[in-house]
Amino acid sequence: MAPDDDARDHWPRHARAWARIGPPLRPVADDVARVAAEAAAWTAAHGRAPRVLLLGVTPELATLPWPAGTELVAIDRSAAMIGALFPTTGVPAGARAARGEWLALPRADRSVDLAVGDGCLSNLGFAADYRRFAAELARVLADDGRLLLRLFAAPPAPESLAEIGAALAAGAIGSMHALKWRLAMAVQPAHRNVAVVDIRRAFDELVVDRAALAARTGWPDDVIATIDNYRGSSLVYSFPTADEVDAALAPALVRVHRHAPAYELGDRCPTVVWSRAV
Ligand SMILES: C[S@@+](CC[C@H](N)C(=O)[O-])C[C@H]1O[C@@H](n2cnc3c(N)ncnc32)[C@H](O)[C@@H]1O
């Protein structure tokens, strides 16, 4: 069975609800500007536009102001996500999206100058698949290639559910999506892999009255209901710390820099640049 035909994969439901998914789950202008600046710098340094591999079909990345002449191929294993989200306009000329698996990329050795993605690693099992991913990216990246990913990274000091409950009661959590990620990172076991059904369970235990939450926070009912995309999903997310990510990707990939944006939970959503070890 093709992975995206698995009814227990919630990404097709997510695709249909994409307009209701917001930061920090989706990148904002500051995140996109980081990637655009890296692409511009790469182009200036090499005298030509980059060959870009987009991991997933994040529209904000597909449509950023890529240098003229950029070649862009997006790889995602979900036909539903490609069909729903890969933009038909605003992408570099000739850009295309294809089904494929990040751990076995349908790309030639050394054929990618910039590989970019948003929240990709949280879709992989920590840490074995992170290591396979690093080896695969090191294979496809050109010698001076770069990997740029926004992470969803757990804080170095774990948060308790009681702390999250207190923050919610105090009105100190700014969005449903921030709450979702704080819960996910708090309930994940020490091995850093958390079944998404357990994120929903934690939410339901914390929030017994969704209508009251909506009234208190102003969060729309349909945005709160995005937590239900996880119902019955077989997917497992991972949220290691940013340092744990670096360690898992090494020695194949070497961190060049890490930038944390200013928005809520930005410290947990850094954009990180790695080079392949040569
Ligand atoms: C780019 S990630 C994160 C998107 C967004 N920032 C979020 O968290 O809601 C989501 C995409 O990754 C794809 N995906 C997950 N694991 C994959 C894998 N191993 N190979 C290829 N695509 C994968 C899913 O199909 C989905 O379209």
Query: What is the distance in A from the centroid of ligand 1 to the CA of 78?
Result: 8
The CATH topology of domain 3-153+240-276 is Rossmann fold (3.40.50)
Give the integer Cα–Cα distance in Å for 49 and 44.
8
Residue 226 Cβ < 6 Å to ligand 1: no
Placement of tokens 């994969």 in the chain: 9
* CATH 3.40.50.150 domain position(s) in the chain: 3-153+240-276
Structure tokens at 242: 């940013």
Q: Phi then psi for 276, rounded to 5 degrees?
A: -80, 145
Say how many Å lie between the CA of residue 123 and the centre of ligand 1.
Answer: 6
Mean pLDDT of the chain: 94
Query: How do residues 13-70 score in pLDDT, each as one tens digit?
Result: 667 677 777 789 899 999 999 999 999 999 999 999 999 999 999 999 999 999 999 9
Whose Cα sits closest to atom 16 in ligand 1?
A: 123
Amino acid of residue 209: D
176-199 residue pLDDT tens: 999 999 999 999 999 999 999 999
For the stretch 209-216, contacts whose Cβ atoms lie closer than 8 Å and that sit 24 or more positions apart, written own/partner, are 216/171
**How far does residue 56's CA lie from ligand 1's centre (Å)?**
5
Instruction: Find, among 78, 85, 157, 153, the residue nearest to 122 by Cα.
Output: 153
The one-letter amino acid code at 15 reads: A
Residue 202: count other Cβ atoms within 10 Å of its Cβ: 21
pLDDT at 154: 98
**Buried b / exposed e along 211-223 (16+ C-beta atoms within 10 A):** eebbeebebeeeb
pLDDT at residue 170 is higher than 90:
yes
pLDDT, tens digit (0-9, with 9 covering 90-100), for 225-278: 999 999 999 999 999 999 999 999 999 999 999 999 999 999 999 999 999 987
Which residue has a Cα nearest atom 15 of ligand 1? 123
SS3 143: strand
Read off the amino acid at residue 96: R
Atom of ligand 1 nearest to the CA of 55: 1
CA of 278 to the centre of ligand 1 (A): 28
Question: 96-106: per-residue pLDDT in tens?
Answer: 999 999 999 99
